[in-house]
C-alpha cells in the first residue's frame, strides 16, 4: 500500500540521505545539480507540515516539499491561489515507479479540497528530459523564466533560467479530468 503523508522530525536524516542521492544522480545526468540544503529550512517545512514522504510497504520511497507562495520564481502569478511542489526525490532503488504522477494526483485532490486554483512547479530551463516528463504527468509548460537572481532562493537557482509548469484546476474540473 502506498501513502503520501507528512514527514516528521524523525525523517530528517532520511530526507538528507535522499538529497545526497539526488545530487549524486544529478551530477551523472546533467550539467547542473543542487548545492545542498540547510537543516533549519527542512525543520521549518516539517513544522509547517509542508514536507512529505511517500511510504510504500513501510519504506520511504520518495520525498517532496510544498509551499503556498513562490514570488521569487512566479512573480505576479504568485498572487494566484496555488500549491508549489519542490524537491521531488525518489530513492534510487525505486526509480521508474513514476511517483510524480501520484504526487500530481495528491496535489490536485489537495487543491480541490482547499479551494486552490493551481498546482505549479519548476525545473532547470534547459533540462528537456524533465520538461517532457512533467508534461507527461499532466503539467502545462508555461515557458522559461528570466534568469534568477534572488538571495532568498537556494544557491542552485543563482543565475539560471527555469522551466515553469502548472495545472489549472478549474480547467481540469471543467473537462472532468479530476
C-alpha 100/C-alpha 143 separation (Å) is: 20
Q: What pLDDT was estimated at residue 160? A: 61
Is the pLDDT higher at 29 or at 149? 29
C-alpha 38/C-alpha 142 separation (Å) is: 29
Q: Report the mean per-residue pLDDT for the chain.
A: 87
Q: How many domains are there within the chain?
A: 1
80-117, pLDDT tens digit by residue?
999 999 999 999 999 999 999 999 999 999 999 999 99
Residue 178 has pLDDT above 90, yes or no: no
Asked whether 149 and 159 are in contact (CB, 8 A), the reply is yes
Per-residue DSSP letters for 37-72? --HHHHHHHHHTT-EEEEEETTEEEEEEEEES--HH
All residues at 6 or more sequence positions from 5 whose CB lies less than 8 Å from its CB, including other chains = 52, 53, 55
Apex 20 CA angle, 15 and 123, nearest 5: 85
- Tell the residue number behind the cell numbers 515553469, with chain if given: 164
Domain harbouring 120, CATH code: 3.40.630.30
SS3 (DSSP) at 5: strand
Bridge partners of residue 122, in order along the sequence = 164
Is the pLDDT higher at 128 or at 62? 62
Give every strand in the sheet of 82-90, ordered side by side: 2-6, 51-56, 59-67, 82-90, 118-124, 162-168, 140-144
What global pTM score does this model have?
Answer: 0.88
Asked whether 121 and 87 are in contact (CB, 8 A), the reply is no
Query: Nearest 10 degrees: CA dihedral of 140, 146, 147, 152?
Result: -80
Q: What pLDDT was estimated at residue 4? A: 98
Among residues 139, 114, 121, 99, which one has the least CA distance to residue 3? Answer: 99
* Domain coverage including residue 14: 2-174
111-131, pLDDT tens digit by residue?
999 999 999 999 876 778 888
Reported as a pLDDT band with limits 50, 70 and 90, residue 159 is very low
Is the pLDDT higher at 145 or at 40? 40
Residue 75 has pLDDT above 80, yes or no: yes
pLDDT cut 90: percent of the chain above it? 60
Q: Mean pLDDT, to the nearest integer, of 50-62? A: 97
Is the pLDDT higher at 93 or at 147? 93
Residue 61 has pLDDT above 50, yes or no: yes
Amino acid at each position: 500500500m502506498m501513502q503520501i503523508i507528512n514527514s516528521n522530525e524523525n525523517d530528517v536524516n532520511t530526507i538528507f540521505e535522499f538529497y545526497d542521492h539526488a545530487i549524486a544522480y544529478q551530477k551523472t545526468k546533467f550539467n547542473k545539480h543542487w548545492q545542498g540544503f540547510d537543516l533549519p529550512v527542512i525543520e521549518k517545512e516539517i513544522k509547517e507540515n509542508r514536507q512529505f514522504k511517500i511510504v510504500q510497504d513501510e519504506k520511504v520511497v520518495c520525498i517532496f516539499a510544498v509551499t503556498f507562495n513562490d514570488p521569487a520564481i512566479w512573480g505576479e502569478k504568485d498572487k494566484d491561489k496555488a500549491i508549489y511542489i519542490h524537491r521531488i526525490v525518489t530513492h534510487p532503488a525505486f526509480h521508474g515507479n513514476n511517483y510524480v504522477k501520484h504526487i500530481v494526483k495528491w496535489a490536485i485532490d489537495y487543491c480541490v479540497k482547499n479551494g486552490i486554483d493551481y498546482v505549479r512547479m519548476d525545473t532547470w530551463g534547459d533540462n528537456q528530459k524533465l520538461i517532457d516528463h512533467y508534461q507527461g504527468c499532466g503539467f502545462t509548460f508555461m515557458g522559461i523564466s528570466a534568469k534568477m537572481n534572488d538571495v532568498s532562493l537556494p544557491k542552485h537557482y543563482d543565475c539560471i533560467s527555469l522551466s515553469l509548469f502548472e495545472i489549472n484546476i478549474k480547467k481540469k474540473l471543467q473537462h472532468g479530468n479530476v
